[in-house]
Amino acid sequence: MTGEEMLRTTVDELEKLLTTKNIVGQPIDLGEKSVIPVARYGFGFGGGSNHGQMGDGAGSGGGGGIEPVALIVIHKDVKGAEGIQILSLRKVHPFSEVITTLSEQHAPRVIEALKAKTEKRETKPETNGE
């Protein structure tokens, strides 16, 4: 197999691997909920050939791995974005846990404050510099 043929074969195989269905799995129906697994995968490869005085030579190698990273949980009885939950399966840094906790606690208050401020602007009479 020539180097060009190895490269063509490699590209053909990569085309089969690099699809969304290999990252986002098929939904699993659990009655009131559906769970969609999300994975990450990586791979590396190398190849070469030589046309030297001792004859032709060629070689290739590769390796890869797959890691589950999250689960998307869809609560069928809850409409909209509130019914979707993403559970990370990766190690969480304590700092990100603090940010998540604070944002969950304070996000509703921030949203209400922004709504109130927007409503206040809308009800304020406009002045035309007169």
* Residue 72 near residue 83, CB atoms below 8 Å: no
* Residue 38 near residue 25, CB atoms below 8 Å: yes
* Residue 10 near residue 41, CB atoms below 8 Å: no
Q: Kindly indicate the confidence band of residue 48, based on its pLDDT and cuts at 50, 70 and 90.
A: confident
The confidence score (pLDDT) of residue 80 equals 84
Span 97-121, pLDDT tens digits: 666 676 666 666 766 776 777 676 6
Residues 6+ positions from 74 with CB-CB distance below 8 Å: 27, 33, 34, 35, 36, 83, 84, 85
Across 48-52, 56-60, 92-96, least confident range: 92-96
Residue 123: Cβ within 10 Å count: 7
The confidence score (pLDDT) of residue 77 equals 92
Span 21-42, pLDDT tens digits: 777 888 999 999 999 999 888 8
Residues in the chain, overall count = 130
Q: State how far the Cα of 68 lies from the Cα of 97, in Å rounded to an integer.
A: 20
Span 61-78, pLDDT tens digits: 777 788 888 889 999 998
